Amino acid sequence: MKKRILALILILAMCFTLFACGTKKDDQAENKITPALYKVTDNEGHVIWLFGSIHVGRENFYPLPSYVMDAFNSSDAAAFEFDLVAAENDYSAQINMAMALMYKDGSTIKDHVSEEVYQAAVEILKENNMYSSVLDMYMPIMWSSSIDMFVTEKSGLDSNLGIDRHLLNLSKENGKEILEVESMEYQTDMMANFSGGLQELLLEVSVGTYKNYVESVSELYALVEAWESGDEGKITAILYEEAEFESEEEKALYEEYNNALIVERNKNMTVYAENALKSGKEVFICVGAAHIVGEGAIAENLRELGYTVELINK
Instruction: Between 9 and 92, name the one with better pLDDT.
Output: 92
- How far is residue 167's CA from residue 58's CA, in Å, rounded to a whole number? 15
Max CA distance (Å), the chain: 60
Which amino acid, 26?
D
User: Residue 305: which pLDDT band, with cuts at 50, 70 and 90?
Assistant: very high
Instruction: Between 294 and 272, name the one with better pLDDT.
Output: 272
- How far is residue 299's CA from residue 38's CA, in Å, rounded to a whole number? 7
pLDDT by residue (tens digit) across 96-126? Answer: 999 999 999 999 999 999 999 999 999 999 9
**Mean pLDDT along residues 179-193:** 95
Instruction: Return the number of other C-beta atoms located less than 10 Å from residue 20's C-beta.
Output: 15
- How far is residue 106's CA from residue 37's CA, in Å, rounded to a whole number? 48
**Is residue 196 within 8 Å of residue 95, measured between CB atoms?**
no
pLDDT at 23 over 60: no
Task: Determine if the pTM surpasses 0.75.
Answer: yes
Give the DSSP per-residue string, the chain. -HHHHHHIIIIIS-STT--------S-S--------EEEEE-TT--EEEEEEE-SSB-GGG-SPPHHHHHHHHH-SEEEESS-HHHHTT-HHHHHHHHHHTB-SSS--GGGTS-HHHHHHHHHHHHHTT---GGGGGB-HHHHHHHHHHHHHHHHT-BGGG-HHHHHHHHHHHHT-EEEESS-HHHHHHHHHTS-HHHHHHHHHHHHHHHHTHHHHHHHHHHHHHHHHHT-HHHHHHHHTPPP--SSHHHHHHHHHHHIIIIIHHHHHHHHHHHHHHHHT--EEEEEEGGGTSSTTSHHHHHHHTT-EEEEE--
Report the pLDDT value the prediction gives residue 47, as an integer from 0 to 100: 98
Instruction: Return the number of other C-beta atoms located less than 10 Å from residue 150's C-beta.
Output: 18
Give percent of the chain with pLDDT exceeding 70. Answer: 89
pLDDT at 19 over 60: no
Report the pLDDT value the prediction gives residue 221, as an integer from 0 to 100: 87
Least confident of 28-32, 41-45, 215-219, 304-308: 28-32
User: Residue 11: which pLDDT band, with cuts at 50, 70 and 90?
Assistant: low
Least confident of 205-214, 233-242, 248-257, 274-283: 233-242
